[in-house]
Structure 1
Amino acid sequence: MTSRKITHRAVLATPGYGTPARGRDRMKLKVMVARTLLIICVLALWQGVVSIGWVDPFWISSPLLVAKELWAQTVGGTLLTDIGVTVFEALIAFVISSVLGIASGLMLARSPFWDTVLAPLIVMLNSMPRVAIAPLIILWFGIGLAAKVITAFTLVYFILLINTLSGAKNVDNDIRTIALLMGASRRDMLLKVTLPSALPWIFAGLNLGLTYSLLGVIVAEILSSNEGLGFVIAHSAGNFNTAGVFAGLIALSLVAWFFAIVMRIVEARLLAWKPSTTSA
Structure 2
Amino acid sequence: MMNRALTLKILSAVILFGAWEVAGHIPVSFAFPTFLESMGALMRMIGDGTMLDAYAETLRPLAVGIAISAFLGIAIGVWVGLSRFFDWLFSPIFIVMQAAPLAALIPLLVLAYGIGLTSKVLVVCIMAMPVIVLNTAGAVRNTPDSIKEMGRSYLATDLDVILKIIIPAASPVIFAGLRLGISAGFIGAILAELKITPTGVGDIITYSRSIADYPSMY
State the TM-score, normalized to the length of structure 2: 0.87
| 1:203 maps to which of 167, 171, 175 | 175
Return 5+ residue gaps in structure 1 as ranges: 1-22, 247-280
Coordinate RMSD, CA, aligned? 2.3
Decide whether the 8 Å contact of 2:82 with 2:141 is kept in 1. Answer: no
C-alpha distance in structure 2 between counterparts of 1:206 and 1:29, whole Å: 24
The alignment partner of 2:100 has SS state of coil
C-alpha distance in structure 2 between counterparts of 1:187 and 1:130, whole Å: 36
1:166 aligns with 2:144: no
C-alpha distance in structure 2 between counterparts of 1:88 and 1:151, whole Å: 13
1:37 aligns with 2:14: yes
Shift of 1:100: 0.7
Return 5+ residue gaps in structure 2 as ranges: none
Decide whether the 8 Å contact of 1:47 with 1:64 is kept in 2. Answer: no
1:220 aligns with 2:197: no
CA offsets per residue over residues 32-82 of structure 1, 9 Å max, x none?
Answer: 552453255235414543xxxx345x3213345434433443343222100
Number of aligned residue pairs: give it: 218
C-alpha distance in structure 2 between counterparts of 1:119 and 1:137, whole Å: 23
1:84 aligns with 2:61: no
CA offsets per residue over residues 155-198 of structure 1, 9 Å max, x none?
Answer: 11111111111111111111112211221101111111110121
**Structure ID, larger Rg:** 1
The alignment partner of 1:226 has SS state of coil
Decide whether the 8 Å contact of 2:80 with 2:91 is kept in 1. Answer: no
Shift of 1:87: 2.6
Decide whether the 8 Å contact of 1:91 with 1:213 is kept in 2. Answer: no
Decide whether the 8 Å contact of 2:46 with 2:52 is kept in 1. Answer: yes
State the TM-score, normalized to the length of structure 1: 0.69
Identity %: 26
